[in-house]
Chain A
Amino acid sequence: MLITFFIPAKFAQDSSQLLQLWYQGVTAFFVFIGIFNLIKINVDKIQRRLRDWQYSIILLFFLGVMLGTGFIGGRDSKIFLYFFENFQVPLGATMFSLLAFFVASASFRAFRAKTPEATLLLIAAVIVMIGRIPIGYLIWNKFPDLVEWIMQVPNTAAKRGILFGIDLGLISMALRVLLGIERSYMGGGER
């Protein structure tokens, strides 16, 4: 894969393309093994009557319903999409929306200007919070421009510096994996 990047010849690009397609095929099985494990863990929980085992029945029931309606009715069957729109979408959306409350609680209890750096962070946060809402524009019509300047100058500078650090770290990690020095992703020790 590394070598074919530098060789524009058709045979090199074709073989690179083939490996990439195989990669996609293999990663699909990661999802299947994940679902298999989910079933196995919950069946085990029910069999051994572990804590909250009753909820595992609900989980497996709805997993079965989705698999059944999907594989029998088809991917675009009305009943499959009905479960998606009326179960998965509202549940997923609501789960993440809980965080709005916890962030509000945290901003009252934890967001304190205890050091000069924390004060700077707080000031930037407040400017962005007010500048990014329509009321900010009404308070001062240059507020949104100030926020854009903060995003495009100090924010970009810091994020870019962090990005370089992350990228160099990723490259060194990738080289370690390719050279066999890093094997933790295989799990279970060096052998």
Chain B
Amino acid sequence: MKIIESLAHLDRRIIFLLVALAVIIPMIVPLNLPVDITKPVKNIYDKVESLPRGSVVLISTDYDPGSEAELYPATEAFIEHCFRKDLKVYMMGLWPAGSELGNIALNKIAKVYNKVYGEDYINVGYRPGGAVMLLSLGRNFSDVIKVDYQGIPIDSLPLGRRVKSSRDIFLVMTFSAGDPGILHWITYFHARYGVPICGATTAIMAPQQYPYLSSGQLTGLLGGLKGAAEYETLVDRKGRGLRGMDSQSIVHLLLVGFIALGNVILLYQRRKK
């Protein structure tokens, strides 16, 4: 069959073009597909809902621009949920660019909810040292953190004075794209100090977190852009996560089609031999 033979040598730039169209067209003409909520995501939502007003939530933005598309929408949705519940947000980043990306989200949402820097939220910037840093952090925050990201002494800020050790943190939410990240929060911070950990990871990392979900070391998990879309649905926020789900659906179907076509070609080639 000539069609199958010509498809077997399809120029990859045609594949690239089809993928691009599969993403662009649903963005321009949205399908507004409903998003189902999975249990790991609901667990995070329920955990935040259960926290008393004024509780301190530590948000760790452990990603860089390479994972911004997946994790930034989840960051915004989570921060909005925290501010809506009147929780205090203590932000830091184990990755240098993460602290800035988190800062952009934090300031944007804080303005909407009229939150006061230093009282309702704080950003202490980039903390190097990975896993070892987490151990010393949990014991004594002021040993590790001297100033916030603007260089203001941490003890001069009310929220900075309030958080002295892991005992003052009610929940850790990490937005993680790799190492250091969620695994260190679980095996070092949670294992040593017992603080509940929730995580949002890139979709690539999500399957590796399920053993920790199953063991209870991880309370909840947002996996990739779909996880962000689910959380946006729960907090009733029209963000980039939900916007991207139509394109995600069409591309996935396209790729399943590619896989099926590739295997049809394989069967044809085997029969020909």
Physical contact A–B (CB less than 8 Å):
yes
Pick 16 A–B contacts, CB within 8 A, sort by A. Answer: A13-B139, A20-B133, A23-B129, A24-B132, A74-B151, A76-B149, A90-B65, A95-B66, A104-B19, A109-B262, A133-B226, A133-B252, A135-B33, A137-B35, A138-B33, A148-B38
Query: Do A89 and B65 have beta carbons less than 8 Å apart?
Result: yes
Q: Does A184 interact with chain B (Cβ within 8 Å)?
A: no
Chain A interface size, as a band, is 35 or more
Sorting the interface of chain B by its residue count into under 10, 10 to 19, 20 to 34 or 35 or more gives: 35 or more
- A108-126 residues with Cβ-Cβ distance < 8 A to B are 108-114, 122, 125-126
Nearest CB to that of A137 among chain B residues?
B36
Chain A interface SS verdict (over half): helix
Query: What's the nearest-Cβ distance from chain B to residue A170, in Å?
Result: 11
Contacts of B255 in A (CB 8 A): 103-104, 107, 129
Check: A176 CB closer than 8 A to any chain B CB: no
For B226, what are the chain A residues with a Cβ–Cβ distance below 8 Å? Answer: 132-133
User: Quick check: is A101 within 8 A (CB to CB) of the other chain?
Assistant: yes
> What is the bound-complex CA distance between A132 and B38, given in angstroms?
10
Contact of B97 among A92, A130, A155 (CB under 8 A): A92
Residues of B bordering A, CB below 8 Å: 10, 12, 15-16, 18-20, 33-36, 38-40, 64-69, 97, 100-101, 104, 125, 128-130, 132-133, 135-136, 139-140, 143-144, 149-151, 207-208, 210-211, 213-214, 226, 245-246, 248-249, 251-256, 258-259, 261-263, 266
B128 touching A93, Cβ below 8 Å: no
Q: Does A17 contact B (CB under 8 A)?
A: yes
